[in-house]
């Protein structure tokens, strides 16, 4: 099957590479000439485990290619996926659909024969209707169907998520389009991945509702963690007791500094704005958004208090800058607010992250970066673990003790055992325990 992916960012590249690995003929389109040249040269502009090898293997086999020329790529395709960015719009927080709308107009002018146009980007309810209107306006004689097929990819585990998904959501009531989409995803039938067919607006809302619910779980357990600290309970024990209830489940019950990333902050905000437009207030989600934003700076203050309440002129080491491990994505990372809070209090921040430092350096001023975690913590008054990269899970604690000037470790991901740290004379501060 001939597939064209409009947008060669995170979703477009992962989806395109995986479709190619299924045996489809995939062309990825992007207007950024530098990005396309890099991809043609085997350089992947994002960090995602396994993605570079996947692209290289399928490029060598001739199943995936990259271009800036949209028209010929669309004309050859049976399915065209729109996988462009939908960032929060400045001023009102709505999802910015300008890239989606531009792609729809370009597709309309270029498509040849019956074409299934798929919104892969996360888009508000009703976007499919607008894409359909744009295509019909620009191409009254065109044969096409517009489908919603939201992505559910976790950064750091995206390839596995695509190839072995919990479900595949397809929003369409067009029989021809559904047949094409089933064929595109046919290789996944071997894994018995369920394909859920529904109307287009339901599919669009499914993505937002799912992300909002997960954000709610995270925020809930974080508030329970605060209560645990006040009462002497242990949030990890509480979360385990909750999670073994099958109605609740154990995932997303790890207390920490708050959620960030490319999806949860943006999607919860877009859901709130859509709900306002339809006069269906989402008060729970609204509370989640507000609570999460407050929590990030509160974690910075937690670090300051652990060090003694005054960090002016003192070195504080921060391990982990990305919003989660196994990605270089800094978008809305809790580390941003934590570092800013420390700097506002006068601290000198020394930082290390396995993949995030190039992106972080564009966001922070006066942060000192190091090539390994131990160099970052040398002579620091305190150490904060913000992101749970694997290499932070097995630090040489004796070495940590010898390097820190102030023996304070603030573990915002609850990685370590309190007893082990305290035996070494290190003050240990965790979240909710």
Is there a catalytic annotation at residue 263? Answer: yes
Closest CA to 127 of 154, 153, 152, 94: 94
CA dihedral of 8, 14, 18, 20, whole degrees rounded to 10:
20
Backbone φ, ψ for residue 125 (5° rounding): -60, 130
CB 408 within 8 A of CB 306: yes
Report DSSP state, residue 190: G
Set 18, 28, 228, 263: catalytic member = 263
Q: Are 355 and 369 in contact (CB under 8 A)?
A: no
Which residues, including other chains, have CB under 8 Å from residue 417's CB and lie 6 or more apart? Answer: none
Listed residue (300, 307, 328, 333) closest to 412, CA to CA: 300
Rounded Cα–Cα distance for residues 267 and 92 (Å): 13
Query: What distance in Å separates the CA atoms of residue 255 and residue 235, rounded to the nearest whole number?
Result: 7
The count of other CB atoms within 10 Å of the CB of residue 211 is 24
Rg (CA), the chain: 23
Backbone φ, ψ for residue 189 (5° rounding): -65, -25
Q: Is 411 helix (H, G, I), strand (E, B) or coil?
A: strand
Distance between CA 384 and CA 335 in Å, rounded? 10
Query: How far is 324 from 312, CA to CA, in rounded Å?
Result: 28
Closest to 216 in 3D by CA, of 277, 167, 271? 271
Six token digits for residue 87 = 């960032």
Residue with tokens 């995170």: 10
Say how many C-beta atoms besides its own lie within 10 A of residue 255's C-beta: 26
**Where in the sequence numbering do the catalytic residues fall?**
263
């Amino acid at each position: 099957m001939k597939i064209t992916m409009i947008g060669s960012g995170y979703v477009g590249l992962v989806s395109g590479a995986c479709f190619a690995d299924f045996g489809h003929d995939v062309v990825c389109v992007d207007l950024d000439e530098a990005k396309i040249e890099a991809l043609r040269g085997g350089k992947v502009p994002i960090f995602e485990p396994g993605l570079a090898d996947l692209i290289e293997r399928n490029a060598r086999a001739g199943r995936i290619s990259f271009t800036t020329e949209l028209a010929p790529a669309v004309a050859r395709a049976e399915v065209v996926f729109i996988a462009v960015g939908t960032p929060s719009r400045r001023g009102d927080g709505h999802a910015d659909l300008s890239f989606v709308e531009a792609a729809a107009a370009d597709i309309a002018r270029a498509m040849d024969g019956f074409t299934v146009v798929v919104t892969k980007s996360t888009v508000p309810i009703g976007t499919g209707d607008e894409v359909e209107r744009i295509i019909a306006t620009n191409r009254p004689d065109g044969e096409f169907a517009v489908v919603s097929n939201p992505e559910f990819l976790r950064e750091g585990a995206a390839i596995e998520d695509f190839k072995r998904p919990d479900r595949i959501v397809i929003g369409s009531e067009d029989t021809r389009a559904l047949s094409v989409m089933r064929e595109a995803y046919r290789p996944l039938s071997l894994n018995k991945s369920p394909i859920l067919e529904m109307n287009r607006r339901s599919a669009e809302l499914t993505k937002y509702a799912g992300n909002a619910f997960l954000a709610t779980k995270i925020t809930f357990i974080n508030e329970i963690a605060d209560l645990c600290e006040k009462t002497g309970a242990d949030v990890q024990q509480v979360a385990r007791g909750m999670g073994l209830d099958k109605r609740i489940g154990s995932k997303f019950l790890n207390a920490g500094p708050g959620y960030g990333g490319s999806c949860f902050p943006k999607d919860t905000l877009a859901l709130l704005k859509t709900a306002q437009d339809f006069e269906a207030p989402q008060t729970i989600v609204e509370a989640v958004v507000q609570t999460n934003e407050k929590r990030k700076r509160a974690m910075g203050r937690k670090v300051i208090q652990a060090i003694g309440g005054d960090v002016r002129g003192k070195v504080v080491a921060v391990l982990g800058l990305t919003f989660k491990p196994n990605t270089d994505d800094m978008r809305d990372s809790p580390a941003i607010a934590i570092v800013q809070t420390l700097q506002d209090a006068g601290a000198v921040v020394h930082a290390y992250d396995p993949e995030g430092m190039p992106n972080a350096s564009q966001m922070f001023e006066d942060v000192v970066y190091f090539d390994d975690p131990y160099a970052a913590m040398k002579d620091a008054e305190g150490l904060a673990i913000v992101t749970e990269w694997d290499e932070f899970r097995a630090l040489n604690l004796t070495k940590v003790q010898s390097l820190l000037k102030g023996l304070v470790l603030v573990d915002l991901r609850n990685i370590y055992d309190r007893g082990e740290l305290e035996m070494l004379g290190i003050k240990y501060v965790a979240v909710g325990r």
